[in-house]
Structure 1
Amino acid sequence: MRLRALVVCPGRGSYARAQLGRLPDGHPVVAALDQLRVRLGRLSISALDRAPEYTPRLHVAGEHASLLTFASTAVDLAAIDRDRIDIVGVTGNSLGFYTALYAAGALDLDGAARLIETLGHYQADNVIGGQLMYPLVDDDWRPSPAYAAAVAAALAHPGVHVSIRLGGTIVLGVDADGLAHARRVLPPIERGGMRYPTQLPSHSAFHTPLMAATGERARAELADLAMRSPATTLIGGDAVVHRPWTSPAALWSYTLGRQIVEPFDFERALATAVGELAPDVIVLPGPGDSLGGPVAQILIGRRWRGLRDRASFLAMQASDRPVMLAMARPEQRARVV
């Protein structure tokens, strides 16, 4: 049976140490991206992926991590077996929305690479503010009123903004004063080997007003970006559903306008996608599977297919009708390619 799938593209930061060396030699997507970087006088994607070791200077910095992430996702998208998987919709988290534009056919490979490389390279020695992650759910992935209250206290400061609503986690965009305030009012939490609040390394405060100048620069330099109406339904970070008859001008305006300076509501985007499209399964292309937890938490919050908590999600994943297939996991990838 051909499965109706919603594809969800990951954001920057999903290319981590475990992904080093995973890009296939000679793949046409990788070759095209290598050519772009060489023309710009920058280290090729292949060279970054084949580095002898994973280092923050190379693999976390936005000017490298952005296109590395896109390359990994695009390679996975090309591997999906369309005879088994019917892609009925596409969305993504943060930078993953730019990849979703490509996956939906609103941008060709060159256009998507230009968009991502341009915005990624703006971050070279120019990180603006920062991003902090903090959980909103407990260990069973149920909402925590105490955590929500702490986040509300952090947001009372004018230098703290909602950046990304990521299901059971919120990402805050902060300036220097806001960072200090948030660290004071957010109680430390240890979970899964991580300590929260966690500052994302080398990340600017995207999706907040702090990025207004970046947006202005991008709109000027990418005025001729060849946006098209998507061939596949696309859901943005404002939960607007872009059908194949969507105005390319409106999509360009959102991508290089509000999307840069307003909160990216991944939670609402995913909830809208599953509500509008009723997919059989959610497919997560790589790199990694870092969106697995947030996607599951959002589905639990919406009681999709009767999901109530972490245990019910894991039980459904172990059944013959899983709700999610992560291409980074070999046993799940085998059901997609």
Structure 2
Amino acid sequence: MKAVVVCPGRGTYGKGELGSLLRHHAGKADLLASYESVRAEAGQESLADLDGAARFDMARHTRGDNASALIHAMTVADTMDLAGVEVVAVTGNSMGWYSALAVAGALAPVEGFRLANGMGARMQAALIGGQLVYPHMGDDWRPDPARKAELLALVADIGARPGHAFALSIDLGGMLVLAGNEAGLAAFEAAVPKAGQFPLRLPNHAAFHTGLQAPVAAEGRAAFLGLPWQQPALPMIDGRGEIWWPRSADLGRLADYTLGHQVVAAYEFTHAIAVAAREFAPDVFIVTGPGTTLGGAVAQSLVLAGWRGMTSKDDFMARQAEQPILVSMGREDQRGLVTG
């Protein structure tokens, strides 16, 4: 069974995920010890204390310096449990790109953790701007390109106003993740109708993937361009939909993208999934833990791509019921499908 592995980004380690790292991966002592050494060197709280806490604390667990480390550790450890599948490519959402680098072998596991942990800490320390989420698809997941274009035009208009910084952060399936300064965020919230809980501000999130992150990108380049980058063992699909092939990747360009464009420009996750589907024709997409929230964005992205003739949520659900084409390792009822 051919599989594309999808690595989740920030916001996927929540109350329901507390304890999941130690529950599933306590046996990977060497891997976790290498991660803990990075945390200790930086004077940060241990993963064991965070994951083993008696209760989930929003302020503590969603901080960039903590959330990035927990999510990256869970993602990489999950991929080590895969069995009965042939991984043909790896991609990720936002911070998940750092995890994809480690999963594919472009960075050794501890170096991938050093990158994810370090960039998370720098973004948390700066905490420039904020993010919100707003849908452009209805509950039926039928593509509405006119609605999406209308929203993106509004985003561009707001971003061009004096004193306003506002832009697309992540094209995430049926959702637009938007980011900017307070003036930009507030202007968008005032301009669009409420749609259930949306527009929804994301706590402890900065204006990721926008020009506001240029200072963080500069810090990241100074700290991590010199990591021991290596040829990936698996194809990687980045946030532009570009494929980095094994044995032929330009490592200098890879490092430059990771610590440049990937930090300060919009992340086209929807396009990355479409490229993965069309170029690698997998039997299944596997979303690693923690959490399950990225599964919906993957499914919506496949519908938007018209993969296997799907044009709605009903089409996806029918295919999923017939033979799973999407497995979320954060779901206990699905994890065993790909771990043997």
Q: Give the aligned residue type for 2:299.
A: A
**In the TM superposition, what is the alpha-carbon distance from 1:187 to its structure 2 partner?**
1.2
Matches within 5 A, 1:294-333: 294-319=297-322, 321-333=323-335
Q: Distance in 2 between matches of 1:103 and 1:330?
A: 22
Matches within 5 A, 1:84-233: 84-144=84-144, 145-146=146-147, 148-158=149-159, 159-190=165-196, 195-233=197-235
**In the TM superposition, what is the alpha-carbon distance from 1:155 to its structure 2 partner?**
2.8
Q: Deviation string for 1:79-101 (max 9, x for gaps)?
A: 111xx100000000000011000
Q: Distance in 2 between matches of 1:169 and 1:293?
A: 10
Q: 2:66 aligns to what?
A: 64
Q: Distance in 2 between matches of 1:160 and 1:223?
A: 28
Q: Give the aligned residue type for 2:99.
A: T
Q: 2:51 aligns to what?
A: 49
**In the TM superposition, what is the alpha-carbon distance from 1:258 to its structure 2 partner?**
0.7
SS of residue paired to 1:6: strand
Q: 1:261 aligns to what?
A: 264
Q: 2:251 aligns to what?
A: 248
8 Å CA contact 2:234, 2:245 repeated in 1? yes
8 Å CA contact 2:168, 2:178 repeated in 1? yes
Q: Give the aligned residue type for 1:12.
A: R
The more displaced of 137-146 and 245-254 is: 137-146
Q: Distance in 2 between matches of 1:141 and 1:66?
A: 29
8 Å CA contact 2:13, 2:291 repeated in 1? yes
When residues 236 and 36 of structure 1 are mapped into structure 2, their CA distance, relative to the original with a 3 A threshold, is same
SS of residue paired to 2:134: strand
Q: Deviation string for 1:245-288 (max 9, x for gaps)?
A: 11111110100011111110001111111111111111111001
TM-score (norm 2): 0.93
The more displaced of 137-146 and 64-73 is: 137-146
Q: Distance in 2 between matches of 1:277 and 1:264?
A: 20
Which of 196, 215, 235 lines up with 2:237 in the alignment?
A: 235
Tell me whether 1:9 sits opposite 2:7 in the alignment.
yes
Q: Distance in 2 between matches of 1:251 and 1:146?
A: 34
RMSD: 1.3
TM-score (norm 1): 0.94
Q: Distance in 2 between matches of 1:240 and 1:216?
A: 23
Q: 2:336 aligns to what?
A: 334
When residues 250 and 270 of structure 1 are mapped into structure 2, their CA distance, relative to the original with a 3 A threshold, is same
Q: 1:77 aligns to what?
A: 79
**In the TM superposition, what is the alpha-carbon distance from 1:31 to its structure 2 partner?**
2.4
**In the TM superposition, what is the alpha-carbon distance from 1:228 to its structure 2 partner?**
1.3
**In the TM superposition, what is the alpha-carbon distance from 1:26 to its structure 2 partner?**
4.2
The more displaced of 121-130 and 52-61 is: 121-130
**In the TM superposition, what is the alpha-carbon distance from 1:332 to its structure 2 partner?**
1.8
Size of the aligned set, in residue pairs, is 328
8 Å CA contact 1:150, 1:185 repeated in 2? no
Q: Give the aligned residue type for 1:156.
A: D
8 Å CA contact 2:155, 2:168 repeated in 1? no
Which of 285, 293, 299 lines up with 1:282 in the alignment?
A: 285
Q: Distance in 1 between matches of 2:233 and 2:151?
A: 42
- Give the % identical residues: 39
Q: Give the aligned residue type for 2:177.
A: V
- Runs (4+) of structure 1 exceeding 4 A deviation are none
Q: Distance in 2 between matches of 1:85 and 1:270?
A: 19
Tell me whether 1:291 sits opposite 2:294 in the alignment.
yes
8 Å CA contact 1:136, 1:148 repeated in 2? no
**In the TM superposition, what is the alpha-carbon distance from 1:331 to its structure 2 partner?**
2.8
Structure 2 unaligned regions, length at least 5: 160-164
Q: Give the aligned residue type for 1:27.
A: K
Q: Give the aligned residue type for 1:174.
A: G
Q: Distance in 2 between matches of 1:42 and 1:34?
A: 9
Q: Give the aligned residue type for 2:214.
A: A
Q: Distance in 1 between matches of 2:152 and 2:273?
A: 22
8 Å CA contact 1:134, 1:170 repeated in 2? yes
8 Å CA contact 2:152, 2:168 repeated in 1? no
Q: Give the aligned residue type for 1:223.
A: L
SS of residue paired to 1:246: coil
Q: Distance in 2 between matches of 1:20 and 1:227?
A: 32
